[in-house]
Amino acid sequence: MIEINQISKSFDRKVALDELSFQIPKGQIFGLLGPNGAGKTTLIRILNQIILPDNGTIRVEGKLLNESHWKNFGYLPEERGLYKSMKVIDMLVFLAKLRGMSNYDALKNTNYWLDKFDIKEWSNKYIASLSKGMSQKVQFIAAVVHEPEYLILDEPLSGFDPINVELILNELKFMKSEGKSIILSTHNMQSVEEICDDVVLLHKSKLIASDTVENLRSSVKNGLFSIRFSGNMIALANALWTDFELLETKELGNNRFQVLVRKRGERTFEDLINNLMGKLTLEAVEEKLPSMQEVFMSLITKEEVLHAE
């Protein structure tokens, strides 16, 4: 576990982090979210001991963050940086050795990852000759080649096509299954929904939300329900009556429909089921939780309103 306690940081009197406190559980994919300028990159640089906080402490498994932890951290910065005059294999071996690996282990791990990402034929190519997507793969390998326990990824999906996005997401899921702890800073809310366990949301240097993805989505739910059924629309209208509002209808053929409804007042999921039972042949009924993008915008907007007041 990483414990962040009362961390503050300012640059030329501009506050970047304001008494930030939360915990990052071990063995999870943890989302670090927030709009540009919220303080995410500053916190990431502090975790990587690139800069020091003005106040506060960070503990890793109970011990104050120190140089000995450096070998157990992998870091993929948002601003990519590879030595363009070096060959791919030399670059990766060099970076692995900087993290404390022997030359033998660094070469073995580098070849493993080049094989895994199916880019072994690029081993002796110069970094300068790589496409953007290929450079991204090499940069990702550089972050994981030394087998870190903690992996910090700042916009890891930037520049990847959908196929390689899926490749990276699947790799992160596998690493989590092996007990690795992954801190993911991203604007890709779909990937947050898919792979993150817990998330924190920063805004203007402060923490404004910290919870599981599911709890945050539930916290701003808007009373929407999806229904798939066979029957007729008149029966549906009678079933909904004044308790629920019909928003969208899609015909599926053979007298089957998919509809979206919204509750009125204090109606519940159980009320909806009770209204529908016996009037339609139900195939699926589910509550439609807001997307993480909607959660993100809702919480940011709420925070802006509070500041305005």
Give the model's pLDDT for residue 141: 95
Crossing angle of helices 103-116 and 88-98, in 10° steps, is 130
Q: Does domain 222-287 have CATH number 3.30.70?
A: yes
- The pair phi, psi for residue 41, each rounded to 5°, is -65, -35
The 63-64 sheet, strands edge to edge: 14-24, 2-11, 55-60, 63-64
The answer to whether residue 41 scores a pLDDT higher than 80 is yes
Structure tokens at 187: 């604007």
Q: Are 46 and 16 in contact (CB under 8 A)?
A: no
Using pLDDT thresholds of 50, 70 and 90, give the confidence band for residue 149: very high
Q: Give the span between the Cα atoms of 9 and 47, in whole angstroms.
A: 13
Residue ranges, CATH 3.40.50.300, the chain: 2-218
* CATH topology assigned to domain 2-218: Rossmann fold (3.40.50)
Give the Å distances, CA to CA, from 30 to 79, 143, 186, 217.
21, 17, 11, 16
Give the model's pLDDT for residue 21: 96
* Number of separate helices (H) and strands (E) present in the chain: 10, 14
Q: Give the span between the Cα atoms of 85 and 135, in whole angstroms.
A: 13
Give the model's pLDDT for residue 102: 95
Which of residues 306 and 14 earns the better pLDDT score?
14
Residue ranges, CATH 3.30.70, the chain: 222-287
Average pLDDT for the chain: 91
pTM, two decimals, is 0.83
Quote the radius of gyration of the chain (alpha carbons, Å): 24
β-partners of residue 74 are 151
The answer to whether residue 151 scores a pLDDT higher than 70 is yes
pLDDT (tens digit per residue) in 225-250: 999 999 888 999 988 888 899 999 99
Q: Give the span between the Cα atoms of 16 and 13, in whole angstroms.
A: 9
Collapse the DSSP code of 190 into the 3-class scheme (helix H, G, I; strand E, B; otherwise coil) and give the result.
helix
The answer to whether residue 309 scores a pLDDT higher than 80 is no
Q: Are 134 and 88 in contact (CB under 8 A)?
A: no
Residue 224: CB atoms within 10 A of its CB come to 17
The answer to whether residue 61 scores a pLDDT higher than 80 is yes
Give the model's pLDDT for residue 308: 64
